[in-house]
Amino acid sequence: MQPMNLINFFSNINPKDVLKYLPDAVLVVNEQSGEIIWINEKAANIFEIIRDEMEHLKFDDIVNMGMKLAEQSSTKNVPVIGGAVAGDKEFFVEMNASLIEEEYFITVRDVTAMTNVLVNAERTGRLNKDKNVMLSKLSGEFKSPLQSIIGFSQALGDGLGGEINEKQAKYVKIINKNAVEALYFMEKFLEYSQVESSLVDFEYQVFDIENTVKSVIKANENSIKAKNLTVSLSTENLSCKTVYSDMNAIKSIVQNILETSIKLTETGAIIIELSTPAPETVEQSGVKLIKNAQPSSYLMITILDNGIGLQESELEGIFEPYTQLDKLNKKNIIRSLSLGTAKELVKQLNGAIGIKTEIMKGTVFNIILPVEKGAIQQNE
């Protein structure tokens, strides 16, 4: 007996006989009329169709703009998602269509659950951004009353409104202190809200990183002197002091981390090191290493203190303020607002930030940023 010719064997097979055994839901639709010619059992179950009663049923009857989507999928050879109906039920399906001899062979799968997750995530993200935009626009409405309370309470304490007795002076001092703390908290919260929603417009320019960090240290002189700390800046391992980035963003990053280090350090010193990281250090941080990177393509900012350090439990969610809300500790929330702002800015600058800490031995913050035009453009 001669072996059967394989070409003749396969040419005699009806494609629909093969399709009915596939695990996918499959329909065959006429390209011209849009009528459903054939449907396998799985597809019939999805669309709740009785196969023997589907005469003259069109694909557009069960999938919104189904024929247009089928053409799009077939022409571009990509899956498409469309809205579908089955009785009173509305849902989403993903479709892959191929046109063979004036008939669309379409596989479908129900992706309603996945689509709902994506839609809800998009809606939540949009609402969150709208909320933060509103907060940013109303920042003056929040801050102005507090600034007035601070100003007038300070004036009363200084005797500009007339002489007050010791008890009144005590109350005025409490009012002033609480208003200052409330304003600081509001400023940190509004700053984080703005950065979290990507409302910061970055302005890249060439500037001197050493002078920039020095200006941040100078802005914190009062806090540093109040605790009798020393803050030093080291640039020994920095190959180039000129960088290309957003100066204000880097100022904000250093400011927020330096504030945190000052609060963690009661006595001793804080060291800020500016250095050029080795390529392996850049890769280990998670920052994308560009091809032909120059020594000046990346900058590492290290801020280390010899303060009290942080407990392991405090590290959980330290860069995420919202995770701190159930801990009812204002100090932790403010710290996470500061660090959350720093992390978001670093992320938006295509960098990475890390923290190492040990109780009673101090805390180290490491930031790595691309600071060369080519490195930034390749990361976008």
**Sequence ranges of the domains in the chain:** 6-110, 124-196, 204-379
Range 6-110 classified under CATH 3.40.50.970: no
Pairwise CA distance, residues 255 & 268, whole Å: 19
| Three-class DSSP category at 13 | coil
Q: Strand 230-234 and strand 269-275: pairing?
A: parallel
Kindly indicate the confidence band of residue 283, based on its pLDDT and cuts at 50, 70 and 90.
confident
Considering only CA atoms, which of 293, 287, 290 is closest in space to residue 349? 287
Which range is least confidently modeled, 2-6, 167-171, 374-378? Answer: 2-6
pLDDT in tens, 220-247: 999 999 999 999 999 999 999 999 999 9
pLDDT in tens, 92-144: 888 899 998 889 999 888 887 665 555 555 555 555 556 656 666 666 677 88
pLDDT at 341: 94
**Residue 277 scores a pLDDT above 60:** yes
Neighbours of 323 (CB within 10 A): 15
Task: Determine contact, residues 343/319, Cβ cutoff 8 Å.
Answer: yes
pLDDT in tens, 303-312: 999 988 888 8
Which range is least confidently modeled, 24-38, 109-123, 231-245, 336-350? Answer: 109-123
Please classify residue 185 by burial: count the beta carbons closer than 10 Å to its beta carbon, then call 0-12 exposed, 13-18 middle and 19+ buried.
middle
CATH of domain 204-379: 3.30.565.10
pLDDT at 110: 85
Kindly indicate the confidence band of residue 7, based on its pLDDT and cuts at 50, 70 and 90.
very low
Classify residue 266 by its DSSP letter: S
Which range is least confidently modeled, 146-160, 162-176, 285-299, 330-344? Answer: 285-299
**Residue 379 scores a pLDDT above 60:** no
Considering only CA atoms, which of 102, 103, 97 is closest in space to residue 24? 97
Each as own residue / partner, the long-range contacts of residues 280-288 (CB below 8 Å, 24 or more positions apart, any chain) are 281/368, 282/368, 285/352, 285/354, 285/366, 285/368, 286/352, 287/350, 287/351, 287/352, 287/368, 287/369, 287/370, 288/350, 288/378, 288/379
Question: Would 6-110 and 204-379 be classified into the same CATH topology?
Answer: no
Tokens for 177?
Answer: 């202190």
Task: Determine contact, residues 28/40, Cβ cutoff 8 Å.
Answer: no
Pairwise CA distance, residues 329 & 235, whole Å: 37
Considering only CA atoms, which of 236, 187, 179, 229 is closest in space to residue 210? 236
- Full-model pTM: 0.64
Kindly indicate the confidence band of residue 3, based on its pLDDT and cuts at 50, 70 and 90.
very low
More confident residue, 211 or 48: 211
**Residue 23 scores a pLDDT above 70:** no
